[in-house]
Chains A and B, each alone.
Chain A
Amino acid sequence: MSREVANFRTFWKGTTFSSVLEPVVYLLAFGLGLGATVVDRVDGLSYVEYVGTGMVATAVIFSSALPAMFGTFVKERFQRTYDAILAAPVDVEELVTAEMLWIGLRAGFYGNFPLIVAMIFGLDPAPGMLLVPLFAFVTALGFAAFGIAVAASVSKMDQFNYVTTLFITPLFLVAGTFFPIDQLPQAVQIASQLNPLHHLVELVRGSAFGFEGTDLLRFAFLVVFAVTLWRVAVHQMEKRLID
Protein backbone atom coordinates (compact mmCIF):
# COMPACT_ATOMS: atom_id res chain seq x y z
CA MET A 1 0.00 0.00 0.00
CA SER A 2 2.66 2.48 0.96
CA ARG A 3 4.26 1.97 -2.42
CA GLU A 4 1.16 3.18 -4.15
CA VAL A 5 1.08 6.23 -1.94
CA ALA A 6 4.60 7.00 -3.03
CA ASN A 7 3.57 6.69 -6.62
CA PHE A 8 0.50 8.81 -6.44
CA ARG A 9 2.42 11.43 -4.57
CA THR A 10 3.89 12.44 -7.86
CA PHE A 11 0.48 12.93 -9.38
CA TRP A 12 -0.15 16.14 -7.62
CA LYS A 13 1.70 19.35 -7.82
CA GLY A 14 1.09 21.50 -4.81
CA THR A 15 -1.88 23.77 -4.71
CA THR A 16 -0.54 24.80 -1.36
CA PHE A 17 -0.84 28.46 -2.11
CA SER A 18 -4.61 28.65 -2.29
CA SER A 19 -5.11 26.02 0.40
CA VAL A 20 -3.11 28.08 2.84
CA LEU A 21 -4.22 31.49 1.74
CA GLU A 22 -7.93 30.84 1.65
CA PRO A 23 -8.43 30.08 5.34
CA VAL A 24 -6.16 32.99 6.17
CA VAL A 25 -8.36 35.34 4.20
CA TYR A 26 -11.48 33.95 5.89
CA LEU A 27 -9.86 34.18 9.26
CA LEU A 28 -8.83 37.77 8.76
CA ALA A 29 -12.21 38.75 7.35
CA PHE A 30 -14.35 37.00 9.96
CA GLY A 31 -12.03 36.94 12.91
CA LEU A 32 -10.78 40.46 12.74
CA GLY A 33 -13.64 42.05 10.82
CA LEU A 34 -16.57 40.62 12.74
CA GLY A 35 -14.56 40.22 15.90
CA ALA A 36 -13.60 43.87 16.06
CA THR A 37 -16.93 45.33 15.11
CA VAL A 38 -19.89 43.04 15.80
CA VAL A 39 -19.02 40.10 18.00
CA ASP A 40 -17.13 40.46 21.20
CA ARG A 41 -16.79 37.07 22.83
CA VAL A 42 -18.28 33.69 21.95
CA ASP A 43 -18.50 30.90 24.50
CA GLY A 44 -15.98 32.76 26.57
CA LEU A 45 -13.43 32.98 23.74
CA SER A 46 -12.26 35.95 21.74
CA TYR A 47 -13.71 35.80 18.26
CA VAL A 48 -10.30 35.20 16.64
CA GLU A 49 -9.74 32.25 18.98
CA TYR A 50 -13.21 30.97 18.24
CA VAL A 51 -12.99 31.25 14.46
CA GLY A 52 -9.31 30.30 14.29
CA THR A 53 -9.98 26.94 15.91
CA GLY A 54 -13.16 26.44 13.92
CA MET A 55 -11.53 27.25 10.59
CA VAL A 56 -9.43 24.09 10.75
CA ALA A 57 -12.55 22.25 9.68
CA THR A 58 -13.11 24.66 6.80
CA ALA A 59 -9.57 24.18 5.58
CA VAL A 60 -9.98 20.42 5.85
CA ILE A 61 -13.19 20.13 3.84
CA PHE A 62 -11.99 22.50 1.13
CA SER A 63 -8.69 20.72 0.72
CA SER A 64 -10.24 17.26 0.71
CA ALA A 65 -13.78 17.03 -0.70
CA LEU A 66 -13.29 19.46 -3.57
CA PRO A 67 -9.89 18.24 -4.82
CA ALA A 68 -11.17 14.68 -4.54
CA MET A 69 -14.24 15.47 -6.62
CA PHE A 70 -12.48 17.38 -9.35
CA GLY A 71 -9.23 15.42 -9.32
CA THR A 72 -10.95 12.06 -9.52
CA PHE A 73 -13.29 13.14 -12.26
CA VAL A 74 -10.54 14.67 -14.39
CA LYS A 75 -8.23 11.70 -13.95
CA GLU A 76 -10.98 9.23 -14.63
CA ARG A 77 -12.72 10.94 -17.51
CA PHE A 78 -10.32 13.24 -19.28
CA GLN A 79 -6.84 11.93 -18.58
CA ARG A 80 -7.75 8.22 -18.32
CA THR A 81 -5.10 7.94 -15.63
CA TYR A 82 -7.06 5.27 -13.79
CA ASP A 83 -7.43 3.17 -16.92
CA ALA A 84 -3.66 3.16 -17.21
CA ILE A 85 -3.14 2.32 -13.54
CA LEU A 86 -5.69 -0.48 -13.51
CA ALA A 87 -3.88 -2.18 -16.38
CA ALA A 88 -0.99 -2.59 -13.90
CA PRO A 89 -1.24 -4.95 -10.92
CA VAL A 90 -3.36 -2.53 -8.89
CA ASP A 91 -7.03 -2.98 -8.01
CA VAL A 92 -9.72 -0.38 -7.51
CA GLU A 93 -9.61 -0.67 -3.73
CA GLU A 94 -5.89 0.10 -3.64
CA LEU A 95 -6.35 2.96 -6.07
CA VAL A 96 -9.11 4.56 -3.99
CA THR A 97 -7.23 3.99 -0.73
CA ALA A 98 -4.07 5.56 -2.10
CA GLU A 99 -5.96 8.60 -3.39
CA MET A 100 -7.65 8.98 0.00
CA LEU A 101 -4.41 8.65 1.95
CA TRP A 102 -2.70 11.21 -0.17
CA ILE A 103 -5.52 13.73 0.09
CA GLY A 104 -5.85 12.96 3.80
CA LEU A 105 -2.17 13.65 4.42
CA ARG A 106 -2.33 16.84 2.45
CA ALA A 107 -5.43 18.10 4.20
CA GLY A 108 -4.04 17.00 7.55
CA PHE A 109 -1.16 19.33 6.82
CA TYR A 110 -3.11 22.28 5.40
CA GLY A 111 -5.64 22.00 8.21
CA ASN A 112 -3.10 23.33 10.68
CA PHE A 113 -2.64 26.67 9.02
CA PRO A 114 -5.71 28.44 10.46
CA LEU A 115 -4.49 27.44 13.89
CA ILE A 116 -1.04 28.84 13.22
CA VAL A 117 -2.48 32.07 11.88
CA ALA A 118 -4.76 32.32 14.91
CA MET A 119 -1.70 31.96 17.13
CA ILE A 120 -0.19 34.98 15.46
CA PHE A 121 -3.33 36.84 16.51
CA GLY A 122 -3.17 35.75 20.09
CA LEU A 123 -4.33 32.13 20.40
CA ASP A 124 -2.24 30.41 23.07
CA PRO A 125 -0.52 27.17 21.98
CA ALA A 126 -1.56 24.05 23.89
CA PRO A 127 -0.06 20.55 23.94
CA GLY A 128 -3.38 19.05 22.81
CA MET A 129 -2.96 20.84 19.49
CA LEU A 130 -0.42 18.22 18.51
CA LEU A 131 -3.42 15.98 17.90
CA VAL A 132 -4.98 18.39 15.40
CA PRO A 133 -3.16 16.94 12.38
CA LEU A 134 -4.56 13.53 13.32
CA PHE A 135 -8.12 14.85 13.66
CA ALA A 136 -7.75 16.72 10.38
CA PHE A 137 -6.31 13.64 8.66
CA VAL A 138 -9.13 11.30 9.69
CA THR A 139 -11.83 13.82 8.76
CA ALA A 140 -10.10 14.50 5.44
CA LEU A 141 -10.04 10.78 4.66
CA GLY A 142 -13.82 10.73 4.99
CA PHE A 143 -14.33 13.79 2.84
CA ALA A 144 -11.81 12.59 0.26
CA ALA A 145 -13.79 9.36 0.02
CA PHE A 146 -16.96 11.42 -0.22
CA GLY A 147 -15.46 13.42 -3.11
CA ILE A 148 -14.28 10.27 -4.89
CA ALA A 149 -17.68 8.63 -4.50
CA VAL A 150 -19.38 11.73 -5.88
CA ALA A 151 -17.00 11.92 -8.83
CA ALA A 152 -17.63 8.25 -9.58
CA SER A 153 -21.39 8.77 -9.48
CA VAL A 154 -21.97 11.87 -11.61
CA SER A 155 -22.00 11.86 -15.37
CA LYS A 156 -21.08 15.51 -15.84
CA MET A 157 -18.91 17.89 -13.90
CA ASP A 158 -21.77 20.43 -13.71
CA GLN A 159 -23.48 18.13 -11.24
CA PHE A 160 -20.81 18.99 -8.69
CA ASN A 161 -22.71 22.25 -8.18
CA TYR A 162 -25.62 20.37 -6.63
CA VAL A 163 -23.29 18.53 -4.30
CA THR A 164 -21.52 21.70 -3.25
CA THR A 165 -24.75 23.58 -2.64
CA LEU A 166 -26.66 20.76 -0.99
CA PHE A 167 -23.93 19.20 1.10
CA ILE A 168 -20.65 20.99 1.34
CA THR A 169 -21.84 24.54 1.96
CA PRO A 170 -24.37 23.62 4.69
CA LEU A 171 -21.89 21.28 6.36
CA PHE A 172 -19.29 23.99 6.41
CA LEU A 173 -21.62 26.78 7.56
CA VAL A 174 -23.43 24.84 10.28
CA ALA A 175 -20.41 23.26 11.91
CA GLY A 176 -19.98 25.74 14.73
CA THR A 177 -17.11 27.44 12.96
CA PHE A 178 -18.44 30.98 12.81
CA PHE A 179 -21.26 30.86 15.34
CA PRO A 180 -22.32 28.43 18.07
CA ILE A 181 -24.81 25.78 17.05
CA ASP A 182 -26.64 25.79 20.38
CA GLN A 183 -28.44 29.00 19.40
CA LEU A 184 -30.00 27.28 16.43
CA PRO A 185 -33.37 25.46 16.37
CA GLN A 186 -33.40 22.03 18.04
CA ALA A 187 -33.76 20.15 14.74
CA VAL A 188 -30.65 21.78 13.30
CA GLN A 189 -28.75 20.99 16.48
CA ILE A 190 -29.65 17.34 16.23
CA ALA A 191 -28.82 17.26 12.54
CA SER A 192 -25.45 18.81 13.14
CA GLN A 193 -24.54 15.87 15.36
CA LEU A 194 -24.31 14.02 12.04
CA ASN A 195 -22.00 16.64 10.60
CA PRO A 196 -18.41 15.39 10.77
CA LEU A 197 -17.14 18.94 10.48
CA HIS A 198 -18.98 19.88 13.66
CA HIS A 199 -17.18 17.14 15.54
CA LEU A 200 -13.87 18.21 14.07
CA VAL A 201 -14.52 21.81 15.18
CA GLU A 202 -15.27 20.65 18.70
CA LEU A 203 -12.21 18.40 18.78
CA VAL A 204 -9.94 21.22 17.68
CA ARG A 205 -11.45 23.55 20.31
CA GLY A 206 -10.92 20.77 22.82
CA SER A 207 -7.29 20.52 21.81
CA ALA A 208 -6.83 24.24 22.43
CA PHE A 209 -8.98 24.78 25.51
CA GLY A 210 -9.25 21.33 27.13
CA PHE A 211 -10.87 18.08 26.02
CA GLU A 212 -14.14 16.69 27.35
CA GLY A 213 -15.22 13.09 27.76
CA THR A 214 -17.52 13.27 24.76
CA ASP A 215 -14.56 14.10 22.54
CA LEU A 216 -13.67 10.44 22.39
CA LEU A 217 -17.11 9.75 20.92
CA ARG A 218 -16.60 12.56 18.46
CA PHE A 219 -13.35 11.03 17.30
CA ALA A 220 -14.98 7.62 17.03
CA PHE A 221 -17.69 9.19 14.89
CA LEU A 222 -15.04 10.60 12.52
CA VAL A 223 -13.39 7.20 12.21
CA VAL A 224 -16.72 5.54 11.41
CA PHE A 225 -17.45 8.31 8.90
CA ALA A 226 -14.11 7.75 7.14
CA VAL A 227 -14.42 3.96 7.04
CA THR A 228 -18.01 4.03 5.78
CA LEU A 229 -17.31 6.53 3.03
CA TRP A 230 -14.18 4.57 2.08
CA ARG A 231 -16.31 1.51 1.34
CA VAL A 232 -18.84 3.62 -0.56
CA ALA A 233 -16.06 5.20 -2.64
CA VAL A 234 -14.54 1.81 -3.49
CA HIS A 235 -17.95 0.48 -4.49
CA GLN A 236 -18.78 3.48 -6.69
CA MET A 237 -15.38 3.46 -8.35
CA GLU A 238 -15.63 -0.26 -9.08
CA LYS A 239 -18.95 0.40 -10.75
CA ARG A 240 -17.46 3.22 -12.76
CA LEU A 241 -14.13 1.70 -13.74
CA ILE A 242 -14.81 -2.00 -14.25
CA ASP A 243 -17.25 -3.00 -17.00
Chain B
Amino acid sequence: MKKFGAITAVDGLDLEVPKGICLGLLGPNGAGKSTTMRLLTGQAHADEGSITVLGHELPDQGKEARAEMGVVPQLDNLDVDVAVEDNLAVFARLYRVKDVKAAVDRGLAMSRLEGRRRAPVDQLSGGMRRRLLLARGIIHDPPLLLLDEPTVGLDPQIRTELWSRIDSLRTRGTTILMSTHYIEEAERLADEVAVMAHGKIISRGKPADLVAQHAGRETAEVYAAPERLAEVRARAEAQGLRVRPAGPAVAIVGSEKATDGAVPPEAIRRAATLEDVFVLLTGEEAE
Protein backbone atom coordinates (compact mmCIF):
# COMPACT_ATOMS: atom_id res chain seq x y z
CA MET B 1 0.00 0.00 0.00
CA LYS B 2 1.21 3.49 -0.76
CA LYS B 3 -0.33 6.67 0.60
CA PHE B 4 0.33 10.27 -0.35
CA GLY B 5 -1.18 12.19 2.54
CA ALA B 6 -4.87 11.43 2.44
CA ILE B 7 -4.70 9.88 -1.00
CA THR B 8 -4.10 6.17 -1.23
CA ALA B 9 -2.49 5.63 -4.60
CA VAL B 10 -1.85 1.91 -4.40
CA ASP B 11 -3.99 -0.15 -2.09
CA GLY B 12 -3.78 -3.88 -1.55
CA LEU B 13 -2.16 -4.40 -4.91
CA ASP B 14 -1.32 -8.03 -5.47
CA LEU B 15 0.58 -8.53 -8.66
CA GLU B 16 2.88 -11.23 -9.85
CA VAL B 17 4.55 -11.07 -13.22
CA PRO B 18 5.59 -14.47 -14.62
CA LYS B 19 8.93 -14.63 -16.38
CA GLY B 20 9.00 -14.01 -20.10
CA ILE B 21 5.59 -12.48 -20.58
CA CYS B 22 4.41 -8.98 -21.28
CA LEU B 23 1.94 -7.96 -18.63
CA GLY B 24 -0.14 -4.90 -19.43
CA LEU B 25 -1.23 -2.84 -16.46
CA LEU B 26 -4.32 -1.23 -17.86
CA GLY B 27 -6.11 1.49 -15.99
CA PRO B 28 -7.49 4.99 -16.27
CA ASN B 29 -5.38 8.01 -15.31
CA GLY B 30 -4.94 8.09 -11.56
CA ALA B 31 -5.41 4.35 -11.11
CA GLY B 32 -1.98 4.02 -9.47
CA LYS B 33 0.00 2.66 -12.42
CA SER B 34 2.87 5.12 -12.23
CA THR B 35 3.05 4.78 -8.46
CA THR B 36 3.33 1.03 -8.94
CA MET B 37 6.24 1.59 -11.31
CA ARG B 38 7.97 3.92 -8.85
CA LEU B 39 7.52 1.37 -6.09
CA LEU B 40 9.26 -1.18 -8.27
CA THR B 41 12.25 1.07 -8.95
CA GLY B 42 12.54 1.98 -5.28
CA GLN B 43 11.74 5.63 -6.02
CA ALA B 44 8.76 5.27 -3.74
CA HIS B 45 8.63 3.15 -0.63
CA ALA B 46 5.50 1.21 0.23
CA ASP B 47 3.83 2.09 3.52
CA GLU B 48 2.68 -1.50 3.90
CA GLY B 49 3.33 -4.80 2.18
CA SER B 50 6.34 -6.31 0.47
CA ILE B 51 7.81 -6.11 -3.01
CA THR B 52 10.23 -8.56 -4.55
CA VAL B 53 11.85 -7.89 -7.91
CA LEU B 54 13.80 -10.75 -9.51
CA GLY B 55 14.39 -12.23 -6.09
CA HIS B 56 15.55 -8.93 -4.56
CA GLU B 57 13.61 -7.60 -1.60
CA LEU B 58 12.70 -3.90 -1.91
CA PRO B 59 13.60 -1.32 -0.82
CA ASP B 60 16.71 -2.78 0.87
CA GLN B 61 18.04 -4.50 -2.24
CA GLY B 62 16.80 -1.82 -4.57
CA LYS B 63 20.16 -1.31 -6.24
CA GLU B 64 20.56 -5.00 -7.04
CA ALA B 65 17.04 -5.05 -8.45
CA ARG B 66 17.55 -1.91 -10.52
CA ALA B 67 20.78 -3.30 -11.96
CA GLU B 68 18.74 -6.05 -13.59
CA MET B 69 15.82 -4.02 -14.81
CA GLY B 70 15.38 -1.46 -17.52
CA VAL B 71 13.08 1.49 -17.04
CA VAL B 72 11.40 3.60 -19.68
CA PRO B 73 9.58 6.40 -17.90
CA GLN B 74 6.36 8.05 -18.91
CA LEU B 75 7.88 11.52 -18.87
CA ASP B 76 10.85 12.05 -21.13
CA ASN B 77 13.87 12.57 -18.87
CA LEU B 78 16.67 12.41 -21.41
CA ASP B 79 19.60 14.60 -20.48
CA VAL B 80 19.29 17.68 -22.68
CA ASP B 81 22.70 18.98 -21.61
CA VAL B 82 24.59 16.27 -23.47
CA ALA B 83 24.56 14.66 -26.91
CA VAL B 84 22.60 11.60 -27.99
CA GLU B 85 25.47 9.15 -27.59
CA ASP B 86 26.42 10.56 -24.19
CA ASN B 87 22.92 9.87 -22.96
CA LEU B 88 23.52 6.23 -23.78
CA ALA B 89 27.12 6.19 -22.53
CA VAL B 90 26.26 7.69 -19.13
CA PHE B 91 23.64 5.03 -18.50
CA ALA B 92 25.84 2.24 -19.83
CA ARG B 93 28.34 3.27 -17.12
CA LEU B 94 25.67 3.60 -14.45
CA TYR B 95 24.61 0.04 -15.26
CA ARG B 96 28.26 -1.08 -15.19
CA VAL B 97 28.13 -2.34 -18.77
CA LYS B 98 31.58 -3.75 -19.61
CA ASP B 99 31.95 -2.56 -23.17
CA VAL B 100 30.42 0.90 -23.11
CA LYS B 101 31.30 1.73 -26.68
CA ALA B 102 29.69 -1.41 -28.07
CA ALA B 103 26.57 -0.81 -25.96
CA VAL B 104 26.32 2.76 -27.24
CA ASP B 105 26.64 1.60 -30.84
CA ARG B 106 23.96 -1.03 -30.27
CA GLY B 107 21.68 1.58 -28.73
CA LEU B 108 22.22 3.99 -31.60
CA ALA B 109 21.51 1.26 -34.14
CA MET B 110 18.42 0.16 -32.28
CA SER B 111 17.03 3.67 -32.10
CA ARG B 112 18.18 4.38 -35.67
CA LEU B 113 20.05 7.46 -34.53
CA GLU B 114 23.53 6.55 -35.82
CA GLY B 115 23.54 9.69 -37.93
CA ARG B 116 22.72 11.83 -34.91
CA ARG B 117 25.38 10.65 -32.48
CA ARG B 118 26.62 14.10 -31.56
CA ALA B 119 23.28 15.89 -31.93
CA PRO B 120 21.88 17.59 -28.83
CA VAL B 121 18.80 15.80 -27.56
CA ASP B 122 16.55 18.82 -27.93
CA GLN B 123 17.06 18.74 -31.69
CA LEU B 124 15.40 15.34 -31.93
CA SER B 125 11.78 14.82 -32.90
CA GLY B 126 9.33 13.35 -30.40
CA GLY B 127 9.54 9.93 -32.02
CA MET B 128 13.34 9.93 -31.99
CA ARG B 129 13.40 10.91 -28.33
CA ARG B 130 11.10 8.02 -27.47
CA ARG B 131 13.29 5.60 -29.41
CA LEU B 132 16.33 6.91 -27.58
CA LEU B 133 14.54 6.61 -24.25
CA LEU B 134 13.76 2.97 -25.01
CA ALA B 135 17.34 2.29 -26.17
CA ARG B 136 18.65 3.87 -22.96
CA GLY B 137 16.32 1.68 -20.89
CA ILE B 138 17.68 -1.53 -22.41
CA ILE B 139 21.33 -0.44 -22.75
CA HIS B 140 22.35 -3.20 -20.31
CA ASP B 141 20.14 -5.86 -21.91
CA PRO B 142 18.00 -6.38 -18.80
CA PRO B 143 15.87 -9.48 -18.23
CA LEU B 144 13.04 -7.24 -16.96
CA LEU B 145 11.73 -4.07 -18.54
CA LEU B 146 9.33 -1.56 -17.01
CA LEU B 147 7.49 0.53 -19.55
CA ASP B 148 5.40 3.35 -18.11
CA GLU B 149 2.95 4.52 -20.74
CA PRO B 150 5.50 3.90 -23.51
CA THR B 151 3.64 5.66 -26.31
CA VAL B 152 1.70 8.34 -24.50
CA GLY B 153 1.26 11.45 -26.61
CA LEU B 154 2.80 10.02 -29.78
CA ASP B 155 1.52 10.07 -33.35
CA PRO B 156 -0.22 6.84 -34.40
CA GLN B 157 2.53 6.07 -36.89
CA ILE B 158 5.32 6.43 -34.33
CA ARG B 159 3.27 4.47 -31.85
CA THR B 160 3.01 1.52 -34.25
CA GLU B 161 6.75 1.64 -34.84
CA LEU B 162 7.46 1.60 -31.10
CA TRP B 163 5.07 -1.29 -30.64
CA SER B 164 7.00 -3.42 -33.07
CA ARG B 165 10.22 -2.66 -31.17
CA ILE B 166 8.64 -3.61 -27.87
CA ASP B 167 7.17 -6.71 -29.46
CA SER B 168 10.58 -7.83 -30.68
CA LEU B 169 11.94 -7.49 -27.13
CA ARG B 170 9.11 -9.64 -25.87
CA THR B 171 9.83 -12.23 -28.54
CA ARG B 172 13.43 -12.34 -27.36
CA GLY B 173 12.23 -13.33 -23.91
CA THR B 174 12.44 -10.07 -22.00
CA THR B 175 9.85 -9.92 -19.23
CA ILE B 176 7.88 -6.72 -19.64
CA LEU B 177 5.61 -4.89 -17.25
CA MET B 178 3.88 -2.15 -19.18
CA SER B 179 1.45 0.35 -17.83
CA THR B 180 -0.93 1.91 -20.29
CA HIS B 181 -4.29 3.52 -20.58
CA TYR B 182 -4.49 2.76 -24.29
CA ILE B 183 -6.63 -0.28 -24.90
CA GLU B 184 -5.08 -0.97 -28.26
CA GLU B 185 -1.60 -0.94 -26.78
CA ALA B 186 -2.56 -3.58 -24.25
CA GLU B 187 -4.34 -5.63 -26.92
CA ARG B 188 -1.37 -5.56 -29.28
CA LEU B 189 1.45 -6.18 -26.85
CA ALA B 190 0.24 -7.81 -23.68
CA ASP B 191 0.12 -11.55 -23.17
CA GLU B 192 -1.84 -10.83 -20.05
CA VAL B 193 -3.70 -7.76 -18.90
CA ALA B 194 -4.33 -6.64 -15.36
CA VAL B 195 -7.04 -4.01 -15.10
CA MET B 196 -6.25 -1.53 -12.37
CA ALA B 197 -8.51 1.02 -10.73
CA HIS B 198 -8.24 2.93 -7.46
CA GLY B 199 -4.94 1.29 -6.62
CA LYS B 200 -6.18 -2.30 -6.96
CA ILE B 201 -6.11 -4.99 -9.61
CA ILE B 202 -9.77 -5.62 -10.34
CA SER B 203 -9.35 -8.27 -12.99
CA ARG B 204 -6.56 -10.13 -14.69
CA GLY B 205 -6.13 -12.59 -17.53
CA LYS B 206 -5.39 -13.06 -21.19
CA PRO B 207 -7.13 -10.34 -23.22
CA ALA B 208 -9.40 -12.85 -24.96
CA ASP B 209 -10.34 -14.51 -21.66
CA LEU B 210 -11.12 -11.18 -20.05
CA VAL B 211 -13.37 -10.29 -22.96
CA ALA B 212 -15.17 -13.61 -22.82
CA GLN B 213 -15.54 -13.44 -19.06
CA HIS B 214 -16.70 -9.85 -18.66
CA ALA B 215 -18.13 -8.79 -21.99
CA GLY B 216 -19.31 -11.93 -23.73
CA ARG B 217 -19.18 -12.36 -27.47
CA GLU B 218 -20.81 -9.37 -28.99
CA THR B 219 -21.49 -5.71 -28.39
CA ALA B 220 -24.18 -3.65 -30.08
CA GLU B 221 -23.63 0.08 -30.48
CA VAL B 222 -26.52 2.44 -30.93
CA TYR B 223 -26.04 5.95 -32.26
CA ALA B 224 -29.04 8.20 -31.72
CA ALA B 225 -30.35 11.32 -30.01
CA PRO B 226 -29.98 11.40 -26.22
CA GLU B 227 -33.66 10.66 -25.50
CA ARG B 228 -33.58 7.62 -27.76
CA LEU B 229 -30.34 6.44 -26.15
CA ALA B 230 -31.94 6.68 -22.71
CA GLU B 231 -34.84 4.57 -23.97
CA VAL B 232 -32.52 1.94 -25.48
CA ARG B 233 -30.48 1.83 -22.29
CA ALA B 234 -33.56 1.36 -20.10
CA ARG B 235 -34.85 -1.48 -22.23
CA ALA B 236 -31.57 -3.34 -22.35
CA GLU B 237 -30.98 -2.89 -18.63
CA ALA B 238 -34.45 -4.21 -17.93
CA GLN B 239 -33.25 -7.48 -19.48
CA GLY B 240 -30.22 -7.50 -17.21
CA LEU B 241 -27.82 -6.50 -19.98
CA ARG B 242 -24.94 -4.17 -19.24
CA VAL B 243 -24.87 -0.89 -21.08
CA ARG B 244 -21.96 1.50 -21.23
CA PRO B 245 -21.46 4.92 -22.73
CA ALA B 246 -19.32 4.95 -25.88
CA GLY B 247 -18.75 8.55 -26.85
CA PRO B 248 -21.89 9.74 -28.63
CA ALA B 249 -23.36 6.24 -28.51
CA VAL B 250 -24.30 3.59 -25.99
CA ALA B 251 -22.95 0.07 -26.22
CA ILE B 252 -24.97 -2.91 -25.12
CA VAL B 253 -22.42 -5.43 -23.95
CA GLY B 254 -23.18 -9.12 -24.32
CA SER B 255 -25.84 -8.32 -26.89
CA GLU B 256 -25.85 -11.92 -28.10
CA LYS B 257 -27.89 -12.73 -24.98
CA ALA B 258 -30.52 -10.08 -25.71
CA THR B 259 -34.06 -11.14 -26.46
CA ASP B 260 -36.63 -9.39 -28.56
CA GLY B 261 -36.37 -5.68 -28.88
CA ALA B 262 -33.56 -4.99 -26.42
CA VAL B 263 -31.17 -4.43 -29.30
CA PRO B 264 -32.86 -2.04 -31.72
CA PRO B 265 -32.62 -2.77 -35.46
CA GLU B 266 -30.40 0.27 -36.13
CA ALA B 267 -27.72 -1.05 -33.76
CA ILE B 268 -24.31 -1.94 -35.11
CA ARG B 269 -23.27 -5.35 -33.86
CA ARG B 270 -19.55 -6.07 -33.45
CA ALA B 271 -17.30 -8.47 -31.60
CA ALA B 272 -16.77 -7.61 -27.95
CA THR B 273 -13.42 -5.98 -27.20
CA LEU B 274 -11.10 -5.28 -24.33
CA GLU B 275 -12.45 -1.75 -24.40
CA ASP B 276 -15.87 -3.04 -23.38
CA VAL B 277 -14.23 -4.84 -20.46
CA PHE B 278 -12.23 -1.78 -19.48
CA VAL B 279 -15.20 0.56 -19.43
CA LEU B 280 -17.42 -1.91 -17.61
CA LEU B 281 -14.81 -2.60 -14.97
CA THR B 282 -13.43 0.86 -14.39
CA GLY B 283 -16.52 2.88 -15.20
CA GLU B 284 -14.41 5.22 -17.23
CA GLU B 285 -14.41 5.84 -20.93
CA ALA B 286 -11.40 4.47 -22.72
CA GLU B 287 -9.05 6.38 -24.98
Contact = CB atoms under 8 A, between A and B. Distances in A.
A241 B77 CA distance: 14
Contact of B66 (A4, A13, A89): A89
B230 interface: no
Contacts of B41: 86-87
Contact of A83 (B4, B62, B73, B80): B73
A200 to B, nearest CB: 30
Interface stretch (B85-93, B109-117, B249-257): B85-93
B163 interface: no
B29 interface: no
A91 B63 CA distance: 7
Interface residues of A, number: 23
A89 B67 contact: yes
Contact of A10 (B71, B78, B80, B86): B86
Chain A interface, DSSP helix/strand/loop, else mixed: loop
Contacts, number: 74
Contact of B4 (A79, A80, A81, A243): A243
B82 to A, nearest CB: 5
A242 B44 contact: yes
Interface residues of B, number: 31
Nearest to B9: A243
A11 B81 contact: yes
A236 B41 CA distance: 20
A83 B45 CA distance: 15
Contact of A11 (B2, B79, B91): B79
B82 A11 contact: yes
A3 B100 CA distance: 13
B81 A13 contact: yes
A194 interface: no
Contacts of B44: 242-243
A80 B38 contact: no
A90 interface: yes
A7 B96 CA distance: 11
Nearest to B70: A87
A128 B263 CA distance: 94
A114 B74 CA distance: 46
A6 B41 CA distance: 23
B152 interface: no
B223 interface: no
A242 B71 CA distance: 16
B238 interface: no
A226 B278 CA distance: 55
A84 B70 CA distance: 11
A92 B90 CA distance: 17
Contact of B82 (A10, A86, A91, A241): A10
Interface of A: 3-4, 6-7, 10-13, 79-81, 83-91, 241-243
Given A85-B94, A86-B42, 11 more contacts: A3-B93, A7-B93, A10-B82, A84-B77, A86-B43, A87-B41, A88-B91, A88-B95, A89-B94, A90-B94, A243-B45
